[in-house]
Structure 1
């Protein structure tokens, strides 16, 4: 027998087995390709799970851990936290043209409607007359005391993180890096007279 005959017989045997196996009981599907694609091995978050003592699949993360992409801010939303952030935090980003440009874009989009494009407290929402003007970065006085032009990186970041008075928190709208870019741009606005 030559190679072609052997391969031909093997092909015929496989074909015959396939045909024979497909003719048997239809209630048994036979071989399944990738059954994990429709029968998941993993538990869904809302399913009961016998692997945990409380029987829940969705577990609280261990204390002291951070989710991926989350930066912990260790200063509380209190006056003491605000004052501590003044000395404990400095902007980790280098002052570059790229960071200043991105900070300006973020500032105009997020802060400009109230604070104005030049930080004078004359944004478009203030001009409508429904909200009081925030203090100017260069000449105003902070509601927590002290001149706005003397605010440190930490105090500005703390205010963006938690908000103050009518200003809400921007922690969910701006990533930590974006907040630092805004801080960098606000520091530039503090210099404008």
Structure 2
């Protein structure tokens, strides 16, 4: 008799659970059910592309104030012009320590990003040139398209060229961080002496 009551209780509980599952699942097909943390789903913040009455122009996404610098961004306030190039050549100096580690890092970066055109030794004989593209000038013997010998390029001129590019060479600012650019500059100075 005790065993029969146990089966009757378990059967009633199973039936009640099954009935409640059926009843709740048939309620509203679009309902996601209970929300554990509704603030995560129905937040009160405005999306970036929504209209926002809190600002005069009615936009949520605002332009940053003039002169602000994003976190982690390094400014290079020399324009992509001949005058900007010349000014960078006289004013901009490499602030990284001239250590063997930095030069070795610069060599690795140069090999990865620059040697396809400039060649491993900076003589303008990279793989791209071997496939018929115009050769860049040699760092030790060539003449710069902007005037002067390549061996006389200063820190600022090399950094400016890596940042903005020149002639067939595009900008490497998106591929190489400012610190990495300075390491490449150190290594290019080594190649200028070959």
Structure 2 length-normalised TM: 0.80
1:72 aligned onto 2:72: no
The alignment partner of 1:181 has SS state of helix
Q: Whole-Å Cα distance in 1 between the matches of residues 166 and 177 of structure 2? A: 19
**Matching of residues 25-174 of structure 1 within 5 Å:** 33-129=36-132, 131-174=133-176
Residues 76-117 of structure 1, C-alpha deviation per residue, up to 9 Å, x if partnerless? 111111111111100010011221121111111111100001
Cα offset, 1:140, TM superposition: 0.6
Greater shift after overlay, 41-50 or 131-140?
41-50
Count of residue correspondences: 168
Cα offset, 1:32, TM superposition: 6.1
Q: Whole-Å Cα distance in 1 between the matches of residues 161 and 39 of structure 2? A: 48
Residues 125-163 of structure 1, C-alpha deviation per residue, up to 9 Å, x if partnerless? 00111x111000011110111110000000000101111
Q: Whole-Å Cα distance in 2 between the matches of residues 57 and 162 of structure 1? A: 33
* Structure 1 residues 141 and 34: CA distance shift in structure 2, 3 A: same
Which stretches in structure 1 are left out of the alignment for 5+ residues?
A: 1-25
Q: Whole-Å Cα distance in 1 between the matches of residues 107 and 169 of structure 2? A: 19
Q: CA RMSD in A?
A: 2.2
User: Structure 1 runs of 4+ off > 6 angstroms?
Assistant: none
Q: Whole-Å Cα distance in 2 between the matches of residues 177 and 106 of structure 1? A: 11
1:183 aligned onto 2:185: yes
Q: Whole-Å Cα distance in 2 between the matches of residues 39 and 68 of structure 1? A: 30
Q: Whole-Å Cα distance in 1 between the matches of residues 160 and 77 of structure 2? A: 10
Q: Whole-Å Cα distance in 2 between the matches of residues 187 and 57 of structure 1? A: 48
The alignment partner of 1:41 has SS state of coil
